[in-house]
Structure 1
Amino acid sequence: MLILSAFFAGSETSLMSLNRYRLRHQVKLKNPGAIKTHKLLQRPDRLIGLILLCNNFVNTFAASITTVLAIRLFPQDESSIAIGAGILTIVMLVFSEVSPKTLAAIKPELLAFPAAWIYEPLLKIFYPVVWFVNLFVNLLLRIVGVDVNKNSPDSLNSDELKSIITEAESLMPPRYQKMLLGILDLESATVEDIMTPRNEIVGIDLEDPLEEIIGQIKASPHTQLAVYKKSIDRIIGFLHLRKVLVEVNHAHFDKQSIINLVSKPVFIPESTPVHTQMLSFKNEKTRIGLVVDEYGDVQGLVTLDDLLQEIVGELITDEATPAQLQSDGSYLVDAGITIRELNRLTQWSLPTEGPKTLNGLIIEIVETIPEPGTSIDLHGYYLEVIKRNKNAVKLVKFLPKP
């Protein structure tokens, strides 16, 4: 009875401790024990009912045998029953409960797969009893608001999946880990979070002299430039340098030539989710668009490369990272960096619900543009302002965490 009790107790722990995703993988590999185990776990209420039925039976039978032995061996001693019960409790606790359950928790597959071969026929034999017990159990659970049939223990939300990926450092290179986390984070990101702000948009102003425009085209590091008149709000379109560089040295090249080569601008609402915009770029066969607010004013510019960089981070850019780790553990950070990118580079948790850039978050906290040398507690992260201009903070230094 003690051996059977150990089997039932250990198998219960092993079956409930199985990694469901590893079990599914074993099922795909056609492991017979995994297939039977997976089938049993489809109705955990029935499986638990069967195991507890068998376990309680052998435990009760063991207690009954102990009582009979105590009475027959020491008929004159009334305390023999209590002594026998005490000895049985200790022996059962050590050998039939703690030991098998500890082993099952450490190596669940060692006992779970063989046990499935035993429980499958047992469930058929004792099905009427198990069904009758579960009828009352399920009714009791429904009274307290739990529906067993709607339980889905294998489902994960995005935050739980992020935690799994974060803890899987030993199973994948860090760069792939960051990519997966970036993909999961797309759902919460909007184009406003990753756009190039309006004041940093590089474009061609048709009001400038032609010679200056030609020089700008030849020296531009970008493949596409916005073409506008006086203000980016009066945009005409986007000019692809591959098209214009062929024409730029011709004698007849003029501003009208530029206008003829521009493509129609794409306008994107600032609240558009990143994953939605990726599909839009794919369907419309475009790679660049202007981000506008609810009033139609241009707030920034976003490209397909920006969206991809949100997934793969610094893997596709040759530019120096805007958050430089120093030898003393501090970070030298360009204040124009977005909060999302700073969190991704440093694994911090600065709030992303309000201002989108570090400069905006600093100004929101201090309610002014701080002077160089100002120290700020930024939601638990301590920084010192290094450089600023008239309109914004430009460079800060985050002190190392104590």
Structure 2
Amino acid sequence: MIDHRKLGRELDLFDSDPLIGAGLPFWLPAGAAARREVENYLHDLERRHGYQHVYSPALGKRAMYELSGHLANFAGDMFPPMPAGEDELMLRPSLCPHHALIFKARQRSYREMPLRIAELGQMYRQERSGVLGGLSRVRSIALNDAHIFCPEEKAAGEVAGVLRLMRESHAALGLRPANYQLSLRGPGKKYGGDDESWARSEALLRGALSDASIEYAGKAGEAAFYGPKIDVQVVDAAGREWTVATVQIDFHQPERFDLSYVGASGARARPVMIHRSLAGSMERLFGQLIEEHEGAFPVWYAPVQLAVLPVGVDSSFAASAVAAGLRAVEIRDGSLGARIRAASKVPYIAVVGARDEGLVSLRLRGGRQLDPMPGAEAIALIRAAATIR
């Protein structure tokens, strides 16, 4: 593996500037193009599996974080309050309080359960400057997040469904988890809720892992303050472990926010809140994907899918490729060999000569060359390869 901080800058995927600040990288056009494709994929995957997408503000009143328990248990990772008239506003360190209030905004019925609310949302954490690095640990975080509200008897099935979606999305992205971790309470930290609810949460997660035949290790002290969680771990180029996906059981915040729905009997019931992220933050995810693929992303989310290298003075193939929906770029400067080397991370290279009579010579990433074919056939081949599998 090559460190994503080095490779990401060499490939113009992301950068940073002292005037913006530490832990606040910005995405350059190539990185933004790849990220957008991954975001669209995750959005569509979630929709196909019953998630409803929302938008919520990245700010909230101090009182909301007092109610959720974040200020009591997580204040050291939050930015300080900002005066706003008679109120104090804070940048959110997570999306769950907002989603709890979205659930509470309407009277809910058991017929809506499970209610799956998803958002690619911005959140902020006041990480210490000494731990910041590249895309792996940042202060401004775009999180692929969701919260599932359901009766307790449906929680195990929902966690199982999340684990399946994790595996599907990781396979599509070319992401290789190193291990699964069951994150539990540990000494020296504050946690919400009571021992009985924590035991129920832990039993649900252990059961889901067992049913899915997933090997895991328990790790004390890594739980969220409101409940235990399953964390999917990856290892970076330096051998450090990072969490890239998670699913968590929470009895605590539904109680704090007094969430309820009308059950089949007409009586009010308390839902369980399941927190889950299939791919974590876009920042940490891409830090890992850059290293996993060494910048040579799968065709479907490669920033450039096709590099066109004209041998003659003119070529219409780049324009036709763009019109067909491919992300194509034309490279004219330098010798043919130099241009091929410059496009080494691009999945397909098309060498187009003035005497080829409409035929295109496609070179695959890695050096293999295909027989000359008509331009339309070449475009169809690349579009088929770009289909997410």
- TM-score category of the 2 structures, normalised to the smaller one: under 0.3
The TM-score with structure 1 as length reference comes to 0.23
The TM-score with structure 2 as length reference comes to 0.23
Larger Rg belongs to = 1
Which structure has greater strand proportion?
A: 2
